[in-house]
């Protein structure tokens, strides 16, 4: 297992969600979450995942009023859709160490997980819970790039597609703007300011020596990547001729 460098004061790298009259506070690296009814008061830690990966979450926690508290792991997508993978509950008013283990299903369509500390809207009881010393571990292999999309893009005299005889994965659709840009739309969006490593290479089927270049992933369109072709000095019109690009997208 690989231990992730998680901020022990629940600040750097953590995403805060507060709604209604929810309250979050941090004192001496102790994170406290309070709320009632539909209030939300939590901090989440996001990470990209792949099928079969193991996620372990540990922390010390206690209930300050004797009511139930929880630590959870959700599987998520960019658009906010999620599935609760697992959680542990506790009501002890003494500090105790809690451990939660989740195996990412092999048939999952989600590409992120988040460790959730604090109250979410579905816990309608009077909530007053504290946490400290969070640890998040992932199974070996997390440190290597996770391939989230690949395929061979084919542009023939202005008609673009994903080459049908080469294996492709993670690409929803492709589109040509008629002059110089092919748009690649991924099946899964990129969440929480995560930006991928995009790699493209040309093939010998091209009718010229143009060089494919990829990038330009925008915050307001988090599932698209642009491919253009260059002659070495500038981007060129590719509305006629044969152009190919092997695309790989890593996280």
pLDDT in tens, 217-233: 655 556 888 999 998 88
- Could you tell me which CATH number the domain at 2-138 has? 2.60.120.260
pLDDT in tens, 69-92: 999 999 998 777 889 999 999 999
pTM, two decimals, is 0.60
Output the six-digit token pair for 96. Answer: 């105790």
pLDDT of 251 higher than 60: yes
Least confident of 7-11, 32-36, 50-54: 50-54
Output the six-digit token pair for 155. Answer: 């542009």
How big is the CA angle at 179 (ends 194 and 195), to the nearest 5 degrees? Answer: 5
- Cβ(179)–Cβ(187) under 8 Å? no
Sign of the torsion formed by the C-alpha atoms of 145, 107, 118 and 122 = positive
Output the six-digit token pair for 99. Answer: 């451990």
Which run of H or of E encompasses 148? strand 147-156
């Amino acid at each position: 297992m690989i231990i992730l460098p998680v901020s022990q004061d629940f600040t750097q790298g953590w995403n805060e969600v507060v709604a209604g009259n929810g309250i979050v506070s941090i004192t001496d690296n102790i994170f406290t979450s309070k709320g009632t009814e539909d209030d939300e008061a939590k901090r989440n830690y996001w990470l990209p995942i792949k099928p079969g990966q193991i996620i372990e979450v540990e922390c010390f926690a206690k209930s300050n009023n004797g009511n139930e508290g929880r630590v959870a792991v959700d599987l998520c997508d960019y658009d906010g859709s999620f599935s609760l993978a697992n959680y542990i509950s506790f009501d002890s008013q003494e500090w105790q160490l809690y451990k939660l283990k989740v195996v990412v299903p092999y048939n999952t369509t989600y590409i992120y997980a988040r460790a959730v500390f604090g109250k979410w809207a579905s816990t309608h009881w009077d909530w007053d819970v504290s946490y400290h010393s969070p640890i998040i571990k992932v199974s070996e292999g997390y440190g290597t790039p996770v391939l989230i999309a690949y395929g061979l893009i084919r542009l023939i005299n202005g008609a673009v597609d994903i080459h049908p005889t080469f294996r492709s994965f993670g690409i929803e659709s492709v589109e040509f703007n008629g002059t110089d840009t092919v748009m690649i739309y991924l099946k899964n969006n990129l969440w929480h300011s995560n930006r991928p490593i995009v790699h493209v290479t040309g093939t010998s089927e091209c009718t010229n020596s143009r060089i494919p270049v990829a990038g330009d992933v925008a915050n307001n369109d988090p599932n698209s990547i642009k491919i253009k072709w260059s002659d070495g000095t500038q981007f060129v019109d590719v509305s006629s001729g044969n152009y190919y690009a092997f695309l790989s997208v890593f996280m």
